[in-house]
């Protein structure tokens, strides 16, 4: 379990994290927020990479971390790079090879084990980063934008892998892509301007937008009032519609089925 209590971090006058408190139990958490909302800063604080105010307690659990940017000695073979991390993580030598094999197989890179890191594609390097993060079976794993640069197949594989390793662990996946978290995460934490906006299950996040999602004919755009957000413009039966999230009911509109993305946007826009 990971407890964050009143976490604060400022970069000069900018508050990256502002009284952020949260309890992460076992499970997969999606940390959702727009760019600059404080997701990476929070992960860096958990890893004790930067100075911060507040308290972070992970009970001495081992941490695995995939930073937003990851690349390693390009002249090393992938297997040796993994060995490097295995040694850093103090995995006993006799167990290293087996553990490396397990992790590389999970990210579908075992056949590239003898290739040099420099010869791998960007997506493969990203997957090798995921492999090093899960190496040694850490109890707390932090993935910062893990699917950036992954093709759709590998994205799906990553989600499947998350589900398979997620038991009895605390996994936090930071992203701004809602579809990355909705399929695999037990809970979603919405963060904006360094503050926790909401924490709940997928259903609870979607429920934020229930009775707030409407399809409005484009010609009625002028009647929109109150706190609203035009999420999309769609065409249905030859008619142009606006997909609107609004905190007040809209006349001449069709109620739409709200999803997690709508809930996320409602939380962000205070709708």
Which residues lie near other proteins (CB under 8 A)? 44, 47, 49-51, 63, 65-76, 80, 83-85, 87-90, 92-93, 129, 132-133
Smaller CB separation from other proteins, 122 or 249? 122
The least distance separating other proteins from the CB of residue 47, rounded to whole angstroms, comes to 5
The least distance separating other proteins from the CB of residue 69, rounded to whole angstroms, comes to 5
The least distance separating other proteins from the CB of residue 148, rounded to whole angstroms, comes to 13
Smaller CB separation from other proteins, 70 or 220? 70
Residue 212 has φ and ψ, to the nearest 5°, of -125, -5
Smaller CB separation from other proteins, 170 or 246? 170
Smaller CB separation from other proteins, 63 or 190? 63
The least distance separating other proteins from the CB of residue 231, rounded to whole angstroms, comes to 34
């Amino acid at each position: 379990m990971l407890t964050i209590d009143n976490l604060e971090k400022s970069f000069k006058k900018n508050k990256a994290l502002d009284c952020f408190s949260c309890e992460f139990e076992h499970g997969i958490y999606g940390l959702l927020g727009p760019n600059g909302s404080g997701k990476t800063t929070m992960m860096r604080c958990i890893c004790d990479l930067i100075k911060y105010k507040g308290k972070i307690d992970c009970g001495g659990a081992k941490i695995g971390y995939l930073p937003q940017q990851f690349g390693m000695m390009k002249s090393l073979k992938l297997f040796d790079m993994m060995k490097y991390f295995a040694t850093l993580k103090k995995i006993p030598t006799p167990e290293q090879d087996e553990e490396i094999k397990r992790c590389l197989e999970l990210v579908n890179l075992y056949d590239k084990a003898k290739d040099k890191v420099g010869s791998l594609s960007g997506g493969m390097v990203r997957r090798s980063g995921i492999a090093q993060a899960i190496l040694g079976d850490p109890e707390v794993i932090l993935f910062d934008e893990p699917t950036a640069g992954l093709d759709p197949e590998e994205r799906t594989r990553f989600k499947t892998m998350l589900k398979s390793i997620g038991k009895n662990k605390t996994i936090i996946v930071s992203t701004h892509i809602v579809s990355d978290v909705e399929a695999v995460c037990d809970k979603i934490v919405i963060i904006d301007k360094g503050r926790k906006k909401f924490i709940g299950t997928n259903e609870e996040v979607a429920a934020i937008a229930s009775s707030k999602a409407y399809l409005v004919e484009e010609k009625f755009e002028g009647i929109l009032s109150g706190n609203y957000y035009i999420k999309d413009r769609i065409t249905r039966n030859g008619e142009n519609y606006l997909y609107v999230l609004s905190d007040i009911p809209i006349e001449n509109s069709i109620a739409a089925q709200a999803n997690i993305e709508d809930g996320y946007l409602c939380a962000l826009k205070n709708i």
